[in-house]
Every structure is written in C-alpha cells, then in structure tokens.
Amino acid sequence: MTKKTRGTAFLEKAGIAFTVHPYDYDPKAPAAGLQAAEALQQPAEIVYKTLMTEVDGKPVCVVVQVNHEVSMKKLAAAAGGKSANMIKPVDAERMTGYHVGGISPFGQKKRVPVIFDESAFQAEKIFINGGQRGVLVALAPEDARRAVDGKIASVAN
C-alpha cells in the first residue's frame, strides 16, 4: 500500500530514497508518536515526531524522538535565539498545511528552518511523519536533514 502525500512528493522530487509505512492512527492515543512506533513494531529510539515551535517569535520545525521532549532552552540556543515555545495547533496546521498528528518536516506549505535532534544521527534509518496521520516514512537521517537543509543540535531533554 503506497500513500502519496505532499511530504512523499517532496522527497521524490528531491531524489531522496525512502519507504512508506502506513499504520492505523489512533486519535485517542495519549502519545501519537509512541502509538505509531508500537503499531509499526519499531523501537521508539528510531521513530521521530515533528513539532512546530517559535524561537523569538519565528517558526522553527523540530524533529525529536517520540519518547523525548524538546528542551525549549536548548532549542532557543540552537536556533540562535533567547526563548522558544510551542506553536498553537491551529497555527501549526495553517503554517504547514498538515493536520496535527500528520505534520511532516517535508513539503510544508511555508518553508521554515528545521532542527534535528542529534540522536537521529546514531541510527541507520529513522521514521518520520510523511505528511498524513497514519503515514510514516523511513529514510537515512542524513538524507532527511539534506532534504530540508536542516541543522543538527542537541535539543531533547
């Protein structure tokens, strides 16, 4: 089963090798990322969530392991700012063109800086949302970073 999303189309256009992994998304799960890892029978350490944040009022997309939280202090420092906070879900949806639970760093409506937690680069491949609830893509972390010209930093607690 292949799912075509704006995120997967973005990766294809960029010439990035990836595989698509659909799963049954549970909107009632207390932690959507952990539910995705469990549904795909993958360790949480290689499944990443995409969070939309603001650093000094400017949007920044952050990619971290589903079993970790973002340190706003570390994020602000990594982005060269003083303070960071989460963007409201409605604003994240408007900005990215994706629904919360399906936000991908790939193919967002408005291109914003992307920061990958350094933990991603310890794995051969990582799973990241492909742009739709219930669709993850697996790819090499460096390919993911290169696709969005992302930065690598320690941003997780």
pLDDT-wise least confident of 24-38, 68-82, 114-128, 134-148? 24-38
Angle in degrees, CA 51, 55, 60, rounded to 5: 40
Tell me the whole-structure pTM to 2 decimals: 0.94
Instruction: Report if residue 35 sits inside a domain.
Output: yes
Question: How many of the other CB atoms lie within 10 Å of CB of 72?
Answer: 18
**Separation CA 36–CA 138 (nearest Å):** 13
> Burial letters for 94-113: b for 16+ Cβ neighbours within 10 Å, e otherwise?
ebbebebbbbbbbbbeeebb
Instruction: Report if residue 57 sits inside a domain.
Output: yes
Instruction: State the pLDDT confidence band at 29, using cuts at 50, 70 and 90.
Output: confident
Instruction: Report if residue 1 sits inside a domain.
Output: no
Q: How far apart are the first and last CA of the chain?
A: 36
Q: What is the CATH number of the domain that holds 82?
A: 3.90.960.10
Instruction: Report if residue 118 sits inside a domain.
Output: yes
**Residues spanned by the domain of 141:** 6-153
Residue 1 confidence (pLDDT): 40
- Count the domains in the chain: 1
Element spanning 157, H or E: none
pLDDT by residue (tens digit) across 48-103?
999 999 999 999 999 999 999 999 999 999 999 999 999 999 999 999 999 999 99
110: pLDDT strictly greater than 50: yes
Instruction: Report if residue 38 sits inside a domain.
Output: yes
